[in-house]
Amino acid sequence: MALDLGSVSNNLELLKASDHATVVSVTLFVALLCACIIIGHLLEENRWMNESITAIAIGICTGVVILLTTGGKSSHILVFSEDLFFIYLLPPIIFNAGFQVKKKQFFRNFMTIILFGVIGTLISFATISLGATEIFKWLDVGSLELGDYLAIGAIFSATDSVCTLQVLNQDETPLLYSLVFGEGVVNDATSVVLFNAIQDFDLTRINSRIAFQLFGNFSYLFIISTALGVAVGLLSAYIIKKSYFGRHSADREVAVMILMAYLSYMLAELFHLSAILTVFFCGIVMSHYTWHNVTEKSRVTTKHTFATLSFMAEIFIFLYVGMDALDIEKWKFVRSSPGKSVGVSSILLGLILMGRAAFVFPLSFLSNLTKRNPDEKLSLNQQVTIWWAGLMRGAVSMALAYNQFTRSGHTQLRGNAIMITSTITVVLFSTVVFGFLTKPLIRLLLPSPKPMDSMLSSESFIVPLLEEDDQPSDVEVTPGHILRPSSIRMLLATPTHTVHHYWRKFDNSFMRPVFGGRGFVPFVAGSPSEQSLNDKDEETQTQTQS
């Protein structure tokens, strides 16, 4: 009995020690996140810096301090897990991307986005995989198999266009912003689907049947994942529209929106689908229907909540990448041949440049052939910007590399260690160096147009896509919400019937009466909407009396 009590006491002491260490680690990490946000805000107007580079720099400095204090045993506070990334950090980032996207611009350029995001990613994947297979075998990197080389193609095909999107102006260059943003999200989803499809097949005996099955599995995942996201988004809109949560508590509306968004992601993971695509299209549908079914207070809350969660998740990822770059355990496997590690990283960067160029310029040429309006065609400067936007590698590449080349958070084989350290090097170099050059390059290639020139050059193709809250000041609006162009040139340039025109008719006739949305919001007594209407009525009466 005494022995049992002693062992229990020892276990309790170990648990207390581990709990204390966890509390200390989490406290330090939260403090570092606060520092990243504050310093990033102070450097916001800097020509060379952005929040991603700031977080990585702080992570590296923190890693150096931890290395010195622990005698070179560790460089990070928390242990990275791909489950942590894919289950907790990635969902808010992708969902907020879909929730905040300019839907009309996104779907107007949908075919070009799919062309870049799917076909382009496949071209980049093939280029990187073939190049790595031939060159790495010649370099004798290690015991890598065919599945590893294909995984390398999927890992380094995943772009991170955060730096570019922070610089591009959505109002000045709506076409370019839409293409870069949409292609980045679809590209990440395609890379993850490719990576999972590669792991699900036996690639030792690859033939035409296996290749056909691989393509069929990829198409199935892409379509079903999108359909699941749309279905969950519509379900959330229908539940909130019929339940009238706003009459009791706005907190319930916010909770249901957040949980339904996360549910779409977890359902996709449960059924082994592409959770990125699912939660992205769920965000698009919820912003179109669900968001308009809640009270004004809930709209403001959800909009800022989703944006805040996404922002913190991105900072968390880059901060950890900076600390993990100095992990001794990974680098000790390659310290005997540091030149080989540098060579592998350089080759990967070269393959990324080649793979990106192999599809951006040819596919841009094909896309321009289908455009009749000169304003919708991509100029050479815009093509270079799109090419540059996809050169950065970030969190998705890191997570996939950890998934492929580590076991339980540890790297045991020399080839795997070289690939992990090379991935870290590529992510750091592309984010820091390419990120430094992003602002000057875009200012050189895309100088800000004069306000009047920008308005005249873009009005001809923006007007047909505007909703009631997006109308420009130079377009007159009648009480019946009918757009009336202010010039004959605009009237001639505006097509009478567009895809958006037919979609709006179908949406207003069939979808919005069932699922809600703008103009179909149920009236709730005592809601902020009623109060705002009463305030407007009082102001109108006061002005009339005066």
The DSSP code sequence of 349-406 is HHHHHHHHHHHHHHHHHHHHHT--SGGGSPPHHHHHHHHHHT----HHHHHHHHHHH-
Calculate mean pLDDT across residues 289-305.
Answer: 90
Residue 489 lies inside a defined structural domain of this protein: no
Phi, psi (5° rounding) for residue 477?
-120, 125
What is the DSSP code string of 88-157?
IIHHHHHHHHHHHS-HHHHHHTHHHHHIIIIIIHHHHHHHHHHHHHHHHHHHT--S--HHHHHHHHHHTT
Residue 464 lies inside a defined structural domain of this protein: no
pLDDT for residue 66 is more than 50: yes
Residue 523 lies inside a defined structural domain of this protein: no
Token code pair at residue 480:
């019946």
Q: What is the extent of the structural domain holding 171?
A: 82-445
Calculate mean pLDDT across residues 273-284.
Answer: 90
Q: What does the pLDDT read at residue 147?
A: 84
Q: Exposed, middle or buried by CB within 10 Å (0-12, 13-18, 19+), for 319?
A: buried
Residue 120 lies inside a defined structural domain of this protein: yes
Token code pair at residue 483:
């757009």
Calculate mean pLDDT across residues 301-314.
Answer: 91
Per-residue pLDDT band at 432 (split at 50, 70, 90) = confident
**CB atoms closer than 10 angstroms to residue 338:** 11
pLDDT for residue 476 is more than 90: no
Alpha-carbon gap, residue 198 to 218, rounded angstroms: 10
pLDDT digits (tens, 9 = 90+) for 496-515: 445 667 778 888 888 888 89
Domain with residue 86: its CATH number is 1.20.1530.20
Q: Which 8-state DSSP code applies to residue 271?
A: T
Calculate mean pLDDT across residues 332-361.
Answer: 86
Domain count, the chain: 1
Q: Exposed, middle or buried by CB within 10 Å (0-12, 13-18, 19+), for 368?
A: middle
Q: What does the pLDDT read at residue 455?
A: 42
Q: What does the pLDDT read at residue 21?
A: 74
This prediction has a pTM of 0.77
pLDDT digits (tens, 9 = 90+) for 11-36: 556 556 567 777 888 888 899 999 98
Residue 486 lies inside a defined structural domain of this protein: no
Task: List CB contacts of 139: < 8 A, sequence separation 6 or more.
Answer: 340, 343, 344, 347
Residue 363 lies inside a defined structural domain of this protein: yes
Residue 500 lies inside a defined structural domain of this protein: no
Cα 324-330-336 angle, rounded to 5 deg: 135
Per-residue pLDDT band at 522 (split at 50, 70, 90) = low
Choose the most confident range, by mean pLDDT, from 98-102, 208-212, 234-238: 234-238
Residue 491 lies inside a defined structural domain of this protein: no
